[in-house]
Amino acid sequence: MFIIPYYIEKPVKSKLFTTWKAWVFMANGGKELWISEANEANEASEKVKDVVANYLTPNGFTGKTRHDKKGNCLYMEISQNTDFSDLYTWGEMLKDAKDIPNEFILRPFVWIGDSPGAVDEWGWREQCESVSLGPYGTIATLWDGLKV
């Protein structure tokens, strides 16, 4: 099961479009999504509470959780009270690491358009569909899963 703790900054509006930024907690220096051992869809609904208890709570994450219809993703909209002081950010990793170490980090993902995930006249969705996040899907898939 993919574990996707995230928060979305307040959108920035311009005359032409809105810019959205989601910070997603990722593994392996931000190269892959966090995965639990419960990666079978048929066992996922039984394991959601275990994943929260064994992965999210011990790492200090609090917030609203939900899992997708297929049962292979657990999303957590992180509470504003979460302490991020022990985590690296994507910017810190880029500045300090020649080779990105296998650390957990908060990585930013940007969406440009009136609504995240929507098809737009500038082709942002097409760009996001072309960037893979491994077995999870694409950046467009990620934005489809995040609730705004």
Residue in the structure block whose two tokens are 């995040």: 146
The rounded percent of the chain whose pLDDT value lies above 90 is 38
End-to-end CA distance of the chain: 22
Question: Cβ distance 1 to 47 under 8 Å?
Answer: yes
Q: CA 48, 52, 85 angle in degrees (round to 5)?
A: 150
Structure tokens, 127: 């760009």
Query: Beta 63-67 vs 73-78: how paired, if at all?
Result: antiparallel
User: For the chain, how long is the longest CA-to-CA vector?
Assistant: 47
Show me where the domains of the chain are located: 2-145
Give the tens place of pLDDT for each residue, 50-108.
Answer: 888 888 988 888 899 998 877 689 999 998 777 777 676 667 666 666 666 677 888 89
